[in-house]
Amino acid sequence: DLAPRPAGARADFLPGTPDLSLFPRAAWAAAQRGVLAELPHQALGYPDPRGLPRLRTALAELLARRRGVVADPERVIVVSGVAQATTLLGFVLHARGVRAIGVEDPGSPEHGALYASAGLDAVPLPLDGEGLASGPLKESGVRAVVTTPAHQFPSGIAYSARRRTELLDWARSVDGLVVEDDYDGDFRYDRAPVGALQGLDPERVAYTGSVSKSLAPGLRLGWLLVPAALAEEVVERKRTMDLGNPVVDQALLARFVERGDYDRQLRRCQRAYRERRDTLVSALEEHFPGTEVSGIAAGLHVIAVLPGRYGPPEYFLERTAAAGVAVRPLTDYGRTVERTDVRLVLGYAHQSPARIRDGVRLMAQALRA
């Protein structure tokens, strides 16, 4: 979700942004100095459009270890974020005659917008409690689909093991492609995260992720792993698009990963975000008793379904907006979302526990006023 932060809001629960004040400035600066000292002049020329071999090796190790991705460095393509990975795949699929791609409903509005820019129609497909619903997927006739299986955005469910298998069976049966957007797969607070779908069938899944949630979205750095059958076309698209990602940034991230700084950063964020999630859940219990928080303990946001007495949704949103509390209803993210209750997508990661508590209190006051 790329919605801009509201400038004058008294409380801000918009989802999608990590805590930018946790950016590891000192470690990043040290890595930058190290990289500038060690990079030979030769390395400052045009890079391999797939990315620096050193970074692809570091990412392959990282993604295999942390996410169970089948990640030969030769398969890794460095991109400027999930957004660029999406656009590249869109162009390649379009060139192969694909004109429609399934997207989760509810889902990230960015997916549809990015595929549209490549000439593909996004076909919204409903979810059930286990993931993308199998029946509607089969009936839709699409042969490519975008998914967020580790932590569905925005509903917050993790795809069940059965649904993962069904999804891959479907992809094989239609000679299709599953795109796996692992946008926040590193953040799971109650157990080790479920491994990537790509690990189960690397020839049917294109896997993408970025540092946007773990370091900062402004770095514009991410990765894409594609089935062998698509690799050459994707790399050629990447080449003609921008001749590759900036070399210094790539070397920097490689060094950052190699030296364990990236793992340290993930642990630090993980601790902070778990505490913030717990704070939000308990503040909701205190100020909005009976609220049902759904979704696994993961990522940067929760779904909160408020008891009927706080509705209807239009009234709730009017009152919170008037009080300067920025919130997004789940209905903003899909057509198949229940419209009777107040269902909110509440981002918590970008703010301190104190601000979270104050924000929930303000929200409650807005409704009493």
Q: How many residues bind ligand PLP (CB under 6 A)?
A: 16
State the nearest-atom distance from the C-beta of 165 to ligand PLP, in Å. 23
State the nearest-atom distance from the C-beta of 173 to ligand PLP, in Å. 26
Nearer to ligand PLP, 283 or 349 (CB): 349
Q: For residues 281 and 38, what is the distance between their CA atoms, to the nearest angstrom?
A: 47
Scan for tokens 């269902």, then name that residue. Answer: 343
The footprint of ligand PLP on residues 175-234 (CB under 6 A) is: 181, 183, 210, 212, 217, 222
The footprint of ligand PLP on residues 9-28 (CB under 6 A) is: 16
Residue type, 40: P
Using an 8 Å Cβ cutoff, are 265 and 71 in contact? no
**Does 113 engage in binding with ligand PLP (CB under 6 A)?**
no
Start-to-end CA distance of the chain, whole Å, equals: 31
State the nearest-atom distance from the C-beta of 322 to ligand PLP, in Å. 27
Nearer to ligand PLP, 68 or 156 (CB): 156
What sign for the dihedral angle of Cα 142, 144, 149, 153?
A: negative
Q: For residues 369 and 340, what is the distance between their CA atoms, to the nearest angstrom?
A: 22
Nearer to ligand PLP, 222 or 295 (CB): 222
DSSP 101: E
Q: Which of 13, 28, 91, 153 binds ligand PLP (CB under 6 A)?
A: 153
Q: Which of 57, 87, 108, 245 binds ligand PLP (CB under 6 A)?
A: 108
Where does this chain touch ligand PLP (CB under 6 A) — which range of 78-86, 126-134, 231-239, 301-309?
78-86
Nearer to ligand PLP, 222 or 244 (CB): 222
State the nearest-atom distance from the C-beta of 140 to ligand PLP, in Å. 20
Q: In this structure, what token pair is assigned to residue 58? A: 């570091």
Q: Which of 14, 70, 83, 257 binds ligand PLP (CB under 6 A)?
A: 83
State the nearest-atom distance from the C-beta of 40 to ligand PLP, in Å. 30
Instruction: Point out the residue whose Cβ comes nearest to ligand PLP.
Output: 81
Using an 8 Å Cβ cutoff, are 349 and 18 in contact? yes
Q: Which of 104, 105, 110, 180 binds ligand PLP (CB under 6 A)?
A: 110
Where does this chain touch ligand PLP (CB under 6 A) — which range of 79-87, 170-178, 232-240, 302-310?
79-87
Question: C-alpha 212: how far from its chain's center?
Answer: 8
Pairing, β 301-306 against β 292-294: antiparallel
Residue type, 283: A
E strand segments, 118-227: 121-128, 131-132, 144-147, 177-181, 205-210, 222-225
Q: For residues 216 and 273, what is the distance between their CA atoms, to the nearest angstrom?
A: 15
Quickly list DSSP for 209-270: EESTTTT-GGG--EEEE--HHHHHHHHHHHHHHHSSS-HHHHHHHHHHHHTTHHHHHHHHHH
State the nearest-atom distance from the C-beta of 83 to ligand PLP, in Å. 3
Q: In this structure, what token pair is assigned to residue 41? A: 């002049």
State the nearest-atom distance from the C-beta of 289 to ligand PLP, in Å. 30
Nearer to ligand PLP, 291 or 299 (CB): 299
Please, how many CA atoms are within 13 Å of residue 271, restricted to the half-sphere of its CB? Answer: 6
Which residues of the shown chain bind ligand PLP in the complex (CB under 6 A)? 1-2, 16, 81-83, 108, 110, 148, 153, 181, 183, 210, 212, 217, 222
